[in-house]
């Protein structure tokens, strides 16, 4: 049986609710909705059609437009995330809130996240007595990655505090430079923030995994899960082509993957794969480098790997070649992150 190739930049697969939330936020800020939607091939009336879907290209364009229409794009992203988390009509957030505890909520999120945000990967890590919720792109988000990640972090923190209490202790790593004006970040994400971090992640105590949720509801959870499963079964795609390739590259980090091997995995020709990726605005080499960068930084920052251990992960025997590759991926030498 052939592996179903994932969706691309121009495939209409994302829920219209993503746009509805952005438009409602723009209305609250008294922004020009016509300017926001112009050129997106979307009309205001489209937002009332629950079965309608949009493409990643349309959604990323709307985020770009929204950021240009408002001077405080970071504040908008954080507010957008909070509103998405508090949306009681959202199937995914309702399913999360009905879970027995965080461990179950994370398992449910893994299965249902495509209904809310199929362009971001939520990876769960454990280190000593810490639980780490790490965000990684499963699709090339470009300049809009900061908005998307900020919104996701804000939504996750809101959901966690909603179920485990406002006094929940956590800290957050942000992979971009510290802004001059920070009150909105502290208001939405708390005081324990680290900017210029190698990874984007939320850190909390491992014991939080099995603390009971305030709104746990077993029967409602099963009903919502069945609804989510039925909805997903109707989707032609569950993940993007880039997500499939990223997973393949992660699994073969040590040996590497050639374009021909990737094409064979997807059961298509190398020429077809190159064409599909070109339509997404990324090459196979760029995608593979992005995965290597993410995996190396994860091991360096979270697990404290030495340069030798990092090089071994990538099957690079010469340390000079490793440092040169690391600088190509990140722009700096490994010691900059230590």
Q: What is the pLDDT of residues 198-249, one digit of tens each?
A: 999 999 999 999 999 999 999 999 999 999 999 888 877 778 999 999 999 9
Of 201, 232, 263, which marks where a domain is finished? Answer: 232
Q: Are residues 200 and 305 in the same domain?
A: no
Residue 2 inside a domain? The answer is no
pLDDT at 15: 83
Residue-wise pLDDT for 38-95, tens only, equals: 999 999 999 888 888 899 999 999 999 999 999 899 999 999 999 989 886 688 899 9
The bridge status of strand 130-137 relative to strand 200-205 is antiparallel
| pTM of this structure | 0.93
Alpha helices (H) in 113-258, listed in sequence order: 145-164, 183-189, 218-233, 241-251
Number of domains comprising the chain:
3
pLDDT at 1: 41
The bridge status of strand 130-137 relative to strand 120-127 is antiparallel
Helical axes 218-233 vs 102-112, angle rounded to 10°: 20
Q: Are residues 105 and 205 in the same domain?
A: yes
- Tokens matching residue 166: 């406002």
Q: Report the 10 Å Cβ neighbour count for 218.
A: 10
How far is residue 281's CA from residue 71's CA, in Å, rounded to a whole number? 28
Residue 3 inside a domain? The answer is no
Of 204, 232, 260, which marks where a domain is finished? Answer: 232
- Beta bridge partners, 135, equal 122, 200
| C-beta of residue 72 within 8 angstroms of C-beta of residue 179 | no
Q: Are residues 195 and 320 in the same domain?
A: no
Q: Are residues 247 and 223 in the same domain?
A: no
Mean pLDDT, the chain, rounded, equals 92
In the chain, what is the straight-line distance between the N-terminal and C-terminal CA atoms, in Å? 46
Residue 82 inside a domain? The answer is no
Nearest to 134 by CA among 250, 302, 252, 304: 302
Report how far apart, in Å, the C-alpha atoms of 198 and of each of 147, 171, 294, 295, 334 are.
Answer: 17, 15, 8, 10, 11
Question: Residue 23: which domain range?
Answer: 9-70
pLDDT at 3: 60
Q: Are residues 109 and 53 in the same domain?
A: no
How is residue 44 annotated by DSSP?
A: G
Length of the chain: 338
Q: Are residues 276 and 316 in the same domain?
A: yes
How far is residue 29's CA from residue 222's CA, in Å, rounded to a whole number? 37
Question: Side-chain half-sphere of 102: how many Cα atoms within 13 Å?
Answer: 22
Residue 4 inside a domain? The answer is no
Q: Are residues 278 and 155 in the same domain?
A: no
Residue 301 has pLDDT above 70, yes or no: yes
Residue 83 inside a domain? The answer is no
Q: Are residues 94 and 41 in the same domain?
A: no
Residue 299 inside a domain? The answer is yes
pLDDT at 89: 66
Q: Sign of dihedral through CA atoms 274, 325, 242, 54?
A: negative
How far is residue 18's CA from residue 59's CA, in Å, rounded to a whole number? 8
How far is residue 184's CA from residue 182's CA, in Å, rounded to a whole number? 6
Q: Is 258 left (phi over 0), alpha (psi -120 to 50) or beta?
A: beta
Residue 270 inside a domain? The answer is yes
Of 173, 202, 232, which marks where a domain is finished? Answer: 232
Residue 323 has pLDDT above 50, yes or no: yes
Residue 79 inside a domain? The answer is no
Q: Are residues 137 and 195 in the same domain?
A: yes
Q: Are residues 40 and 102 in the same domain?
A: no
Q: Report the 10 Å Cβ neighbour count for 202.
A: 21
Q: Are residues 195 and 297 in the same domain?
A: no
Residue-wise pLDDT for 173-193, tens only, equals: 999 999 887 889 999 999 999
Q: Sign of dihedral through CA atoms 22, 183, 194, 198?
A: positive
The stretch 117-125 carries a mean pLDDT of 90
- Which CATH number fits the domain that encloses residue 313? 1.10.10.60
φ and ψ at residue 35, rounded to 5 degrees: -65, -35
Q: Are residues 65 and 125 in the same domain?
A: no
Residue-wise pLDDT for 265-276, tens only, equals: 999 999 999 999
Residue 162 has pLDDT above 80, yes or no: yes
């Amino acid at each position: 049986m052939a592996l179903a190739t994932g969706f691309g930049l121009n495939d209409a697969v994302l829920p219209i609710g993503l746009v509805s939330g952005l438009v409602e936020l723009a209305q609250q800020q008294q922004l020009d909705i016509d300017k926001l939607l112009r050129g997106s091939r979307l009309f205001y009336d489209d937002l009332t059609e629950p079965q309608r879907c949009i493409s990643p290209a349309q959604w990323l364009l709307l985020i770009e437009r929204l950021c240009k229409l408002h001077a405080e794009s970071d504040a908008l992203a954080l507010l957008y995330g909070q509103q998405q988390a508090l949306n009681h009509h959202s199937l995914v957030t309702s399913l999360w809130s009905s879970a027995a505890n965080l461990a179950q909520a994370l398992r449910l999120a893994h299965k249902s996240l495509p209904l809310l945000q199929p362009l971001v990967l939520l990876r769960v890590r454990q280190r000593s007595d810490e639980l780490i919720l790490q965000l990684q792109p499963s699709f090339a988000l470009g300049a809009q990655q900061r908005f998307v990640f900020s919104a996701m972090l804000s939504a996750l923190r809101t959901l966690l505090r909603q179920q485990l209490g406002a006094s929940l202790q956590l800290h957050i790593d942000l992979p971009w430079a510290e802004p001059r004006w920070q009150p909105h970040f502290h208001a939405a994400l708390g005081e324990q923030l680290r900017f210029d971090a190698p990874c984007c992640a939320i850190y909390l105590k491992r014991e939080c995994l099995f603390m009971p949720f305030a709104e746990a509801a077993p029967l409602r959870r099963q009903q919502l899960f069945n609804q989510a499963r039925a909805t997903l079964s109707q989707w032609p795609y569950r993940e993007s082509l880039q997500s499939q390739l990223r997973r393949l590259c992660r699994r073969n980090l040590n040996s590497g993957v050639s374009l021909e091997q990737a094409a064979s995995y997807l059961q298509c020709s190398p020429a077809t794969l190159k064409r599909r990726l070109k339509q997404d605005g990324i090459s196979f080499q760029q995608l593979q480098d992005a995965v290597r960068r993410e995996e190396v930084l994860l091991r360096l920052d979270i697990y404290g790997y030495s340069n030798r251990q990092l090089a071994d992960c990538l099957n690079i025997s010469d340390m000079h070649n490793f440092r040169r590759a690391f600088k190509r991926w990140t722009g700096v030498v490994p010691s900059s992150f230590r």
